[in-house]
Structure 1
């Protein structure tokens, strides 16, 4: 696990080594153990290394025997031993025990198609000196991020956008074309980026520069064909085998390893399968909240303790309170881009906690997308039932639902929030209904919120994802959209950035691409049955986990931020979105901002996500646009709530 960066100059001039050093310095946290670079005329590549496998011999950049191929790679290749053995059988000689070295020889043997042989999470840069060709790429699901900057003079890349800001002539400017999409979804989807002039390389994508020409292409997509001739018991057997193999493969490490444990189905399954393959107790880490009803709804520690006891893990817990506000500037600096998902706070806190003991952690991220774990996946199921009601009854229900109070941080009001959201979307097409569940703020309301219509821009990442999702199976179509948008650009991005902020490697065995392909071929009726989310996955885990874990009520891995914004953090909200601040930025209509705050405070809407999206954009702007130190901004924010 590392951070990579590099430059290719179109003018043929030699890359200056100090430029690579400056880029690497910005992402030192990703690899505090080692650094290295290689310059060959117009191309220079570099890396910061977090040593996980072959601690002594895995220095990068790596090269082949005659120095014609050079590589930097961030991530882990889980099937490297099998590939290494195969390549040695073909006569290739290895200099190190590093998993990354297989990329060099596999590229030499098979060309660009070598990526199809890799099982892992990665981004890489490979310099082919023979062809004077640079090849960069990203793993299938987008577990590891890669940012690209291209102008008339150069193409540069890095694992984090801030490394590109170290280059001469590059300054932090707001990309106004993605602001509307950000406010709509709460994150910036690839290839978009919040920084003007920088973009994210999409998942499963390769980019080559040769003879001054840039070519980019997709090398893998989710399979669309549904396999309908297998029984449920056959699906269960296949899922059990692949789950076990995915976890086993991702436990390879030369340093201590642990697991995040929330007590939910996904993290509990990972821990249970890890315990099968370990002679020592698994180290597990959980996070909880103290306080009132809102905090209690997000506190999963009792479930985590139950699972830890079941598998006799070496279990540790951390309890946090709303003073996490002081962390926001630091975390947004690490994130590079603002977002509304409060899971980035909890992920950072539990990552820092785990890093006291281990260097590698396994997470259950991805299980909800693969196997139908989100409530939004039930929209079609309930919409079909709802449409059987008489028209007059539907009209009355819709009228009443619009007047329901809503608050996700209260048990009763959260149920009313879900009912209200469903009633508002029940008559929509499946795509638009799903958009209504995913959105932070509707596109219509985003247009009202933004001062300049031009700021809305043409970007609509969900529309692009729906257009590319050709699957007629409604549930798997939703999964395909998630795999193009929220999964890589929200969940996986925050997982990478927040774990790497503390130099912790986070692995996601539920997103092993073979398991993903298996899940994508599974009929919706088996994934989710009669309103039971994750039906097939739960059936597959029945011999591993108890019923009270398999069938417990789902709770997201976030914070009770909405409640805090009404209480302890209300002064922060009001100050960050005050008239003078909003006017100075010149983005938002103050009247709309005031209505959103008032409606959230009065429980007319649950405005947690959109309010946090605007607040985090302002904090991000102070750090990157105003060029202020995150610590200085943190002191300012603390003064607001003192």
Structure 2
């Protein structure tokens, strides 16, 4: 695990070692253990890294070259099947210099060319220099677990695991990418290939980019399978899932340093810990987080469930109860994120990562289980719409009108139920694609257009729906999630927040073999009779009790909506004040004021929308205004004081 970066010059100027070092210095948190660089003869290309040593800590220094120094590689992440690949390559006569997983990339490329990526099971981004062909090849893993940013100009092509490293390049300054603004407001994150910084784009998941003879080529090497297997019985699926999860977790436990697991007491994290316990001769170290405070905080406190699972599985359990200094955290965390995000899970992920990093260097997480096995409430939309459509149309219209008048808030049990009912009834008459969009959106496209004073257009969800298969409705949603929210929200914040504290976070439920298995499961079995994750829960029934398997789902977020009305209210009102909005020049101040007023009066749950706007303003102060996190933090704290 590390951060990689590099540069290819089109203009014949040599790559400066000091420039590569500057790119590495700003991402030192990703790899505090080691650093290295290689500049090709003639200086046309340079590749470099910062290393967090996990596999072969003593001998895995990067960049790594082959025997004749013709091929050089840097890699961020882990190749989980490297031991099998290494044995196969040694049988074919390949000689290894190190015990590192990264070195297998060199020999696979030498034997198979660009097709070598099809042999890899892992989370990674890499850069490979082929001296004979004078060719640079960079790539990203199939699901997009590890991010990779690219800048291209007439004179150079730069790449880095974090966007802030590219801002060290000459001629590139931090400017807002206005083309990404509508998607961000609509979805709460910036979908690839866009980033929030002009001139910097994300390399999409499962994508390779090659530079050779001054020409740049980019192509997709993998897509989520769309064929549904309707011949396999339910009992057979249960066994295949049980075996697949166990194998995936076992693969991802490979480490030469201490390892642990996040444990919320939910199905996904509990499944991961249960599989880990089966393959360990000592108790698994598990880590959980809860919040101090009132009713809103209690709704997000899953410590009793985590404690119960820890007891059942015999883990060495660690938990922390926090009342976080959110004002002090936001500028620092948004600096690490590189771009704004409206998902408050980035705060929780950082806090529990910081806690776990005191003991371990590698952590396993349950991220991805909801997408694979049908765990989100939004996946029940079609199920309940079919029931609703049995009612007369006039009664459905009446229910929708009444629902529109209901109060909305997610931080009280009653108001949260009303919020969900209001959202469902308001979207029940829409097409399946638009209904799904309504569940995902932070702000509807009409409000975004009013905010930005521009016409609504196509977006990342349109493109993802167009590319998704239509044989199975639930797997169609899975395909859309895998192209959008999963890599560009959940996985991005997981990577950035864990690496902010130099912690490697692995996501075994997104193991490539398990993902391809899950993509073939029919909707009727993934979610059966309204039971989310039916097959996955059946596969875990001999390990976890019903009160854990079937308890109500709670996301890995924070009581942000309540904080925006209480502790953060002065900060919110100042950051979104009319004069601030006008000076920034991005939004209609009247629309912003209405959103704030509607949230405070519980006429709508504006948590995500207001967090999106507030975080964008904080991010702008950091990146566009060039201020330090400490400076912005001091200003925000003065508002509360």
Q: TM-score range by the shorter chain?
A: over 0.9
Whether the aligned pair in 1 keeps the contact of 2:253 and 2:259 (CA below 8 Å) is yes
Aligned position for 2:332? 330
- Once the two structures are superposed, residues 299-319 of structure 1 have per-residue CA deviations (whole angstroms, 9 ceiling, x without a partner) of 000000001111111111111
Aligned position for 2:613? 614
Structure 1: how far apart are the matches of 2:630 and 2:352?
A: 21
Whether the aligned pair in 2 keeps the contact of 1:178 and 1:459 (CA below 8 Å) is no
2:412 to 383, 395, 410: 410
CA positional deviation for 1:423: 0.5
Aligned position for 2:108? 106
Using the TM superposition, name which of 310-319 and 149-158 deviates more. Answer: 310-319
Structure 1: how far apart are the matches of 2:472 and 2:560?
A: 35
Structure 2: how far apart are the matches of 1:399 and 1:618?
A: 35
CA positional deviation for 1:26: 1.0
Match runs of 1:73-472 below 5 Å: 73-451=75-453, 453=454, 460-472=459-471
Aligned position for 1:39? 39
Structure 2: how far apart are the matches of 1:426 and 1:408?
A: 20
Aligned position for 1:515? 514
Structure 2: how far apart are the matches of 1:407 and 1:322?
A: 21
Structure 1: how far apart are the matches of 2:109 and 2:385?
A: 50
Whether the aligned pair in 1 keeps the contact of 2:578 and 2:593 (CA below 8 Å) is no
CA positional deviation for 1:216: 0.4
Answering whether residue 12 of structure 2 is matched by residue 19 of structure 1, we say: no
CA positional deviation for 1:323: 2.2
Using the TM superposition, name which of 460-469 and 10-19 deviates more. Answer: 10-19
Structure 2: how far apart are the matches of 1:380 and 1:86?
A: 47
CA positional deviation for 1:24: 0.5
Structure 1: how far apart are the matches of 2:322 and 2:197?
A: 32
Aligned position for 1:71? 73
Secondary structure (helix, strand or coil) at the match of 1:400 reads helix
Using the TM superposition, name which of 297-306 and 314-323 deviates more. Answer: 314-323
Whether the aligned pair in 1 keeps the contact of 2:465 and 2:480 (CA below 8 Å) is yes
Secondary structure (helix, strand or coil) at the match of 2:139 reads strand
Aligned position for 1:473? 472
Whether the aligned pair in 2 keeps the contact of 1:177 and 1:459 (CA below 8 Å) is no
Answering whether residue 641 of structure 2 is matched by residue 636 of structure 1, we say: no
Secondary structure (helix, strand or coil) at the match of 1:564 reads helix
CA positional deviation for 1:359: 0.2
Structure 1: state its 5+ residue gaps.
none
Answering whether residue 30 of structure 2 is matched by residue 30 of structure 1, we say: yes
Secondary structure (helix, strand or coil) at the match of 1:252 reads coil
CA positional deviation for 1:470: 2.0
Structure 2: how far apart are the matches of 1:541 and 1:638?
A: 46
Aligned position for 2:52? 50
Whether the aligned pair in 2 keeps the contact of 1:181 and 1:459 (CA below 8 Å) is no
Whether the aligned pair in 2 keeps the contact of 1:322 and 1:568 (CA below 8 Å) is no
Whether the aligned pair in 1 keeps the contact of 2:348 and 2:557 (CA below 8 Å) is yes
Structure 1: how far apart are the matches of 2:390 and 2:10?
A: 63
Structure 1: how far apart are the matches of 2:491 and 2:640?
A: 31
Answering whether residue 580 of structure 2 is matched by residue 578 of structure 1, we say: no
Secondary structure (helix, strand or coil) at the match of 1:155 reads strand
CA positional deviation for 1:322: 4.6
Structure 1: how far apart are the matches of 2:470 and 2:281?
A: 43
CA positional deviation for 1:449: 1.1
Whether the aligned pair in 2 keeps the contact of 1:8 and 1:43 (CA below 8 Å) is yes
CA positional deviation for 1:471: 3.0
Structure 2: how far apart are the matches of 1:608 and 1:531?
A: 27
Structure 1: how far apart are the matches of 2:12 and 2:342?
A: 42
- Once the two structures are superposed, residues 429-476 of structure 1 have per-residue CA deviations (whole angstroms, 9 ceiling, x without a partner) of 10000000000000111011114x27x6x5611101001102321100
CA positional deviation for 1:569: 1.0
Q: Count residues with an aligned counterpart.
A: 639
CA positional deviation for 1:250: 0.4
Whether the aligned pair in 1 keeps the contact of 2:475 and 2:523 (CA below 8 Å) is yes
CA positional deviation for 1:14: 1.5
CA positional deviation for 1:324: 2.1
Aligned position for 1:59? 61
Structure 1: how far apart are the matches of 2:577 and 2:214?
A: 49
Structure 2: how far apart are the matches of 1:163 and 1:396?
A: 55
- Once the two structures are superposed, residues 49-94 of structure 1 have per-residue CA deviations (whole angstroms, 9 ceiling, x without a partner) of 0000101100000000000000000000000000000000000000
Whether the aligned pair in 2 keeps the contact of 1:4 and 1:73 (CA below 8 Å) is yes
Secondary structure (helix, strand or coil) at the match of 1:447 reads helix
- Greater than 6 Å deviation, 4+ residue runs: none
Structure 2: how far apart are the matches of 1:631 and 1:80?
A: 42
Structure 1: how far apart are the matches of 2:339 and 2:393?
A: 45
Structure 2: how far apart are the matches of 1:325 and 1:539?
A: 43
Instruction: Please tell me the root mean square deviation across aligned C-alpha atoms, in Å.
Output: 0.8
Aligned position for 1:625? 624
Whether the aligned pair in 2 keeps the contact of 1:360 and 1:505 (CA below 8 Å) is yes
Aligned position for 2:7? 7
